[in-house]
């Protein structure tokens, strides 16, 4: 009996030893040497792997931080981690911290159930990208929100939800990290990353319809008709292809209210600090 | 108001519910055969198993998943019936309920419900009972045709149990005295689990499934064919009765397994090529277990082992793609 | 001869619903206005030649082919051009259209309106292709590939077989069937014309088994024409798909990313072949086509000869109006057609049918969990695994899509038709294709 135990111990021990040697050699042979700072930066990153920085995940971002020169480093930003994370990365690399402006995502469509009533029913998969193939949408606006919520599903931070009353998605500013997932997923490019603005005030045209005024208004009461009244208030506002665009450089606290008042259709939206809602 | 939807604008009338209903219809001959041979006991086994399975699925949906009730798709009834088919008619109801729990809650719902389980739930239930209660699971009441209130405790050995203990030295007369005739095996007048005894009833179910296009012929035919060929080769070489291919097909759970359990959509490969591979290996494993292991029967183990390989088969075995003919 | 041919991978047998097999083609008549889109083909939209206020006749060139892959567009009515601008198409998106108010019915003098059949093909291959180009002929089966390009064989390639696609495997549609019965000889002459343009002596008219009248008529007529034969195919969807037809008739398979021409085949729809006959022998531009108005919610299903640009609503009125039960109006067949939201949208060169469907047929059922039955893979005529594509799309694993050969998908809808769990497999496949094309 003793002998059996001894033999099994020897055999199993031998197998263990050989496996250990193979594993050791494999780990030596296939090991990848990496700059230690990459791991260090990787550790301070949020690890959401959202791609908001434009890189393929947090590790890739860490690697590009390390390989970047100080000049190039200014252009890198982790929108999710924000200023605090970028400060830490800068101190790891020994660069001066760069001031990053807070940004959020805004929906450039105000095609609510009320403004753009549904003319048809959609009976199919709840996906904007699929519906976009076959139809201009419930209201008929070929550029407006399809209200099926691909962006809600794509948001990794739960910062978007469809408002049951209006039918269109609402951005929760406190959760939005401006990672850009919604910008990439929306088949009609309705989302835009804009600076948070002083006191949370942002002013923008919530419409992307490029049809002529009458046609656009037929489908949606809140469509931009390119009347040009806003551009008279501020000359930086450009009107192109039947659509007005307010650049983010325009100071919302200074021009915001005037711009909203000037718009005859209500396509211009001003956000305020107090409410998280758009109005 | 007009509706907008994506093509196709027609759908086949066959949905999940209808498929499950067809499988239940295909089981009817075997249910009838079970009642004819084992009387009311068989009915008790089947009813308790089905009721327990449906009940457990309902509980899981309501209190755990908190989603819509999936018992309506009838798949729990099939699991219950298949589990019952794999039990002897003398099985105590408490154990059946335990087996149903294993089948539905552990083997099916823990993986996420219909379509997501890796192993065939009914087989998990059976194997669990088989290992936990070996005595009750290997007592086979003697079949009595048309004697519904079967109260006598006479037992009969299964055909596979008999041939397991045969060897070259057993005399031919001793063999013929012990073994049932092919006719009895075909009709179902043999000892065994309640659903597996009648080859005729199972084949009727097979024909129905084929006619309704619920399954293709590949898995059952390749499975049974593999068993037939391998045992046939042994039989031709040695001439011993324990290798007799016909006995191997007609006895035990081979037909039940090949027609109803190896063909389970969720736990079999998606492509025909993969299904053939799956079935052939099921056959090989069945023969190996039957001939060389301590157990007389190997269908459940063979199918469960092959279930584990299904994701692998699906990953590497693909059908022919148009325009890629070599 | 009469051995039945078919393709070997996949396929389904949906209910046929051929309600109009024995209804003769009738004239739809003239609507008050027509909307003629300038893009009724694959490729660049045609260049508009007319302006508001211009007077046009039937057959007047409205827009000129812009580039090689493009096609001419002609007026289908006589009258006054009201508008030349983008208006809502069937899907609700804007399309450039020429709106013409119908006044009378005058024809351009070059069109030969006589009813007798011209049999003498005295043109050279170049002349034929030139005539096709001038007549704005495009593939009328649905793809809209300009026919002159298809019939000009690129250098270094050899074609030995013309397949005339008389297979109408979509349920409800019978336009091609009726055309083959009523214009059999013209189709055969049309096939000879293409043969001449291609420089070959071999044409097979493929018809599926469930069109006995068409098979009989064409078999009789082809006896007098050398080189044109009838090939009978099994009734199976999608037998009329180009790739499936080549597999059935020529026993060849078009490799992934290649064209039929690469395996020596040219496939032309019977509607196109008839249009080719009229273009070459009668100088008639492509301004009208045959289509079926049908559906389970349609009061009076019929086959019509319709001018291109006729609003859908006009044809619906002709067929008994939009019934209560109608929930969807489909352009094309129920398997591959598109549902429309705007009934003022026009019929184009590619519209093979208008279907009014009720919720019994077209209503979508709730999606359930995949039960891994594998039926989608078994019915896919390309041999793809739609369940896999759907899973990859759901998990956003777009990098693995190429290995799943999703670009070979012909969007026939067999997978979504068959799926017992009602998973919208075709939608996932289409989405996967756009994702992949975006990446390229």
| B279 plus B165 within the same structural domain | yes
Residue among A120, A124, A130 minimizing CB distance to B1: A120
Contacts of A146 in chain C (CB under 8 A): none
Average pLDDT over residues B203-220: 95
- Give me the pLDDT at residue B153, please: 64
Q: Give yes or no for residue B68 having a pLDDT over 80.
A: no
| B172 plus B84 within the same structural domain | no
| B26 plus B119 within the same structural domain | yes
Task: Share the mean pLDDT of chain C.
Answer: 90
Contacts of B6 in chain A (CB under 8 A): 124-125, 130, 133-134
Q: Can you give the pTM of this predicted structure?
A: 0.88
Asked if residue B10 is part of any domain, the answer here is no
Torsion region of A205: left, alpha or beta (phi above 0 gives left; psi -120 to 50 gives alpha): beta
Asked if residue B291 is part of any domain, the answer here is yes
| B259 plus B307 within the same structural domain | yes
| B25 plus B111 within the same structural domain | yes
Asked if residue B11 is part of any domain, the answer here is no
Q: Give yes or no for residue A277 having a pLDDT over 60.
A: no
- Read off the DSSP letter of residue B166: -
Parent domain of B89: 16-137
| B39 plus B77 within the same structural domain | yes
Confidence of residue C1 (pLDDT cuts 50, 70, 90): very low
Asked if residue B146 is part of any domain, the answer here is no
Confidence of residue A216 (pLDDT cuts 50, 70, 90): confident
| B212 plus B312 within the same structural domain | yes
Asked if B6 reaches chain A (Cβ–Cβ under 8 Å), the answer is yes
Q: Best interface-test mutation with C: which of B65, B68, B322, B324 has the largest number of C CBs within 10 A?
A: B322
- Give me the pLDDT at residue C440, please: 66
What does each C-alpha distance from A97 to A45, A85, A94, B54 come to in angstroms?
16, 10, 9, 63
Angle formed by the axes of helices C212-222 and C175-182, to 10°?
40
Asked if C143 reaches chain A (Cβ–Cβ under 8 Å), the answer is no
Q: Which residue has the higher pLDDT, B269 or B151?
A: B269
Asked if residue B198 is part of any domain, the answer here is no
Confidence of residue A278 (pLDDT cuts 50, 70, 90): very low
| B22 plus B111 within the same structural domain | yes
| B27 plus B102 within the same structural domain | yes
Average pLDDT over residues B284-303: 91
What does each C-alpha distance from C250 to C8, C173, C254, C263 come to in angstroms?
13, 25, 11, 9
- The 10s digit of each residue's pLDDT in B16-66 is 999 999 999 999 999 999 999 888 889 999 999 999 999 999 999 888 888
- The 10s digit of each residue's pLDDT in A67-94 is 888 888 887 888 888 888 888 888 888 8
What is residue A202's three-state secondary structure?
strand
Quote the number of domains for chain B. 2
Confidence of residue B152 (pLDDT cuts 50, 70, 90): low
| B175 plus B222 within the same structural domain | yes
Asked if residue B154 is part of any domain, the answer here is no
Contacts of A129 in chain C (CB under 8 A): 431, 434
Asked if residue B179 is part of any domain, the answer here is yes
Q: Which range (B99-103, B167-171, B211-215, B220-224) has the least confidence?
A: B167-171
How many other C-beta atoms are found inside a 10 Å radius of the C-beta of residue A279?
9
Q: Give yes or no for residue A201 having a pLDDT over 80.
A: yes
Chains touching chain C through at least 3 C-beta pairs below 8 angstroms are A, B
- Does the beta-carbon distance from A123 to C364 stay under 8 Å? yes
Q: What is the 3-state secondary structure (H, E, C) of chain C?
A: CCCCECCCCCCECCCCCCCCCCCCEEECCCCCEEEEECCCCCCCCCEECCCCCCEECECCEEEECCCCCCCCEECCCCEEEEEEEEEECCCCCEEEEEEEEECCCCECCCCCCCCCCCCCCCCCHHHHHHHHHHHCCECCCCCCCEHHHHHCCCCCCCCCEEEEEECCCCCCCCHHHHHHHHCHHHHHHHHHHHHHHHCCCCEEEEEECCCHHHHHHHHHHHCCCCCEEEEEECCCECCCCHHHHHHHHCCCCCCCCCCHHHHCEEEEEHHHHHHHHHHHHHCCCCCEEEEEEECCCCCCCEEEEEECCCEHHHHHHHCCCCCCCEEEEEECCCCCCEECCCCCCECCCCCCEEEEEEHHHHCCCCCCCCCCCCHHHHHCCCCCCHHHHHHHHHCCCHHHCHHHCHHHCCCCCHHHHHCCCCCCHHHHHHHHHHHHHHHC
Residue of B nearest to C418 (CA): B12
Q: Give yes or no for residue A279 having a pLDDT over 60.
A: no
| B115 plus B168 within the same structural domain | no
Residue of C nearest to A122 (CA): C341
- The 10s digit of each residue's pLDDT in B226-240 is 999 999 999 999 888
* β-sheet bridge partners, residue B3: A121
| B182 plus B60 within the same structural domain | no
ipTM: 0.88
Asked if residue B199 is part of any domain, the answer here is no
Confidence of residue A195 (pLDDT cuts 50, 70, 90): confident
CA-CA distance, C7 to C318, in Å (whole number)? 38
- The 10s digit of each residue's pLDDT in C228-283 is 999 999 999 899 999 999 999 998 999 988 888 899 999 999 999 999 999 999 99
Residue among B9, B116, B320 minimizing CB distance to C383: B320
- Give me the pLDDT at residue A20, please: 96
Alpha-carbon distance A234 to nearest alpha carbon in chain B (angstroms): 42
């Amino acid at each position: 009996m003793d002998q059996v135990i001894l033999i099994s111990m020897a055999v199993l021990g031998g197998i263990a030893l050989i496996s250990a040697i193979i594993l050791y050699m494999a780990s030596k042979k296939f090991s990848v040497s990496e700059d230690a700072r990459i791991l260090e930066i990787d550790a301070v990153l949020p690890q959401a792997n959202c791609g908001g920085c434009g890189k393929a995940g947090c590790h890739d971002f860490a690697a590009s931080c390390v390989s970047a020169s100080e000049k190039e480093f200014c252009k890198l930003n982790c929108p999710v981690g924000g200023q605090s994370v970028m400060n830490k990365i800068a101190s790891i690399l020994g660069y001066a911290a760069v001031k990053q402006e807070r940004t959020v995502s805004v929906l450039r469509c105000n095609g609510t159930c009320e403004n753009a009533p549904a003319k048809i029913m959609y009976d199919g998969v709840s996906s904007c990208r699929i519906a976009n193939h076959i139809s201009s949408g419930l209201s008929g606006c070929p550029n407006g929100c399809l209200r099926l919520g691909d962006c809600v599903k794509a948001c990794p931070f739960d910062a978007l939800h469809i408002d049951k009353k209006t039918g269109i998605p609402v951005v929760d500013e406190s959760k939005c990290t401006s990672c850009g997932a919604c910008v990439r997923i929306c088949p009609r490019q309705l989302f835009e990353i804009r600076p948070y603005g002083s006191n949370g005030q942002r002013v923008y045209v919530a419409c992307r319809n490029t049809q002529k005024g009458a046609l656009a208004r037929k489908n949606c009461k809140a469509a931009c008709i390119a009347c040009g009244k806003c551009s008279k208030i501020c000359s930086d506002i450009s009107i192109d292809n039947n659509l007005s665009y307010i650049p983010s450089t325009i100071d919302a606290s200074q021009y915001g209210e005037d711009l909203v008042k000037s718009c005859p259709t209500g396509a211009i939206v001003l956000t305020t600090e107090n409410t998280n809602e758009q109005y | 108001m007009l509706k907008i939807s994506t093509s196709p604008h027609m759908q086949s009338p066959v949905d999940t519910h209808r498929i499950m209903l067809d499988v239940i219809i295909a089981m009817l001959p075997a249910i009838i055969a079970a009642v004819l041979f084992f009387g009311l006991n068989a009915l008790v086994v089947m009813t308790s198993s089905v009721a327990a399975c449906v009940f457990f699925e309902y509980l899981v949906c309501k209190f755990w998943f908190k989603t819509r009730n999936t018992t309506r798709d009838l798949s729990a009834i099939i699991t219950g019936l298949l589990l019952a088919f794999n039990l002897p008619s003398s099985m105590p109801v408490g154990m059946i309920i335990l087996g149903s729990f294993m089948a539905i809650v552990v083997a099916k719902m823990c993986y996420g419900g219909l379509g997501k389980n890796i192993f065939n739930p009914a087989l998990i239930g059976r194997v669990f009972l088989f290992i936990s209660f070996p005595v009750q699971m290997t007592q086979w009441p003697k079949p009595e045709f048309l004697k519904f209130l079967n109260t006598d405790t006479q037992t009969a050995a299964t055909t596979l149990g008999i041939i397991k203990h045969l060897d070259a030295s057993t005399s031919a007369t001793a063999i013929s005295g012990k073994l049932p005739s092919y006719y009895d095996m075909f009709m179902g007048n043999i000892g065994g689990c309640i659903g597996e005894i009648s080859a005729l009833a199972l084949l009727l179910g097979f024909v129905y499934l084929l006619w309704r296009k619920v399954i293709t012929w590949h898995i059952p035919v390749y499975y049974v064919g593999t068993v037939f060929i391998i045992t046939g080769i042994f039989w031709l070489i040695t001439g011993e009765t324990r290798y007799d291919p016909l006995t191997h097909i007609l006895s035990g759970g081979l037909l039940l397994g090949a027609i109803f359990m190896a063909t389970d959509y969720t736990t079999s490969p998606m492509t025909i090529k993969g299904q053939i591979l799956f079935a052939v290996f099921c056959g090989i494993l069945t023969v190996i277990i039957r001939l060389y292991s301590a157990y007389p029967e190997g269908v459940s183990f063979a199918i469960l082992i092959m279930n584990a390989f299904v994701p692998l088969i699906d990953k590497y075995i693909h059908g022919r793609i148009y325009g890629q003919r070599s | 001869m009469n051995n039945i041919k078919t393709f070997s991978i996949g396929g389904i047998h949906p209910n046929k619903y051929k309600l109009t097999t024995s209804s003769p083609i009738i004239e739809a008549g003239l609507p008050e206005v027509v909307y003629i889109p300038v893009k009724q083909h694959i490729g660049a939209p045609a260049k508009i030649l007319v302006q508001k206020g211009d007077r046009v006749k039937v057959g007047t060139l409205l827009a000129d082919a812009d580039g090689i892959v493009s096609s001419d567009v002609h007026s289908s009515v006589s009258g006054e051009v009201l508008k030349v601008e983008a208006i809502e198409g069937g899907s609700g998106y804007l399309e450039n259209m020429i709106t013409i108010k119908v006044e009378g019915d005058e024809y351009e003098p070059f069109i030969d309106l006589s009813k007798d059949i011209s049999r003498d093909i005295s043109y050279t291959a170049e002349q034929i292709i030139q005539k096709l180009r001038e007549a704005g002929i495009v593939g009328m089966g649905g793809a809209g590939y300009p026919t002159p390009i298809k019939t000009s064989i690129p250098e270094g390639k050899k074609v030995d077989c013309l397949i005339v696609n008389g297979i109408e495997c979509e349920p409800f549609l019978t336009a091609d069937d009726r055309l083959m019965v009523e214009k059999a000889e013209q189709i055969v002459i049309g096939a000879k014309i293409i043969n001449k343009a291609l420089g070959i002596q071999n044409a097979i008219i493929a018809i599926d088994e469930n069109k006995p009248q068409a098979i009989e008529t064409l078999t009789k007529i082809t006896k007098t024409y050398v080189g044109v034969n009838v090939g009978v195919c099994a009734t199976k969807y999608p037998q009329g798909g180009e790739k499936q037809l080549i597999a059935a008739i020529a026993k060849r398979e078009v490799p992934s990313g290649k064209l039929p021409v690469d395996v020596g085949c040219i496939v032309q729809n019977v509607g196109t072949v008839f249009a080719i006959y009229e273009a070459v022998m009668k100088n008639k531009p492509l301004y009208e086509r045959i289509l079926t108005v049908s559906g389970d919610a349609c009061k009076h299903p019929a086959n019509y000869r319709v001018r291109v640009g006729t609003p859908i609503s006009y044809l619906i009125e002709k067929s008994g109006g939009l019934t209560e039960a109608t929930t969807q109006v489909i352009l094309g067949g129920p398997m591959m057609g598109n549902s429309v939201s705007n009934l003022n949208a026009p019929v184009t060169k590619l519209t093979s049918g208008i279907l009014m469907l009720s919720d019994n047929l077209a209503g979508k059922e709730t999606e359930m969990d995949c039960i891994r039955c594998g039926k989608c893979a078994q019915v896919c005529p390309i041999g793809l695994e739609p369940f896999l594509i759907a899973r990859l799309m759901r998990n956003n694993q777009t990098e693995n899509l190429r290995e799943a050969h999703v670009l070979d998908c012909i969007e026939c809808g067999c997978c979504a038709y068959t799926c017992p769990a009602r998973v919208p497999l075709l939608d996932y496949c289409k989405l996967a294709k756009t994702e992949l094309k975006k990446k390229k």
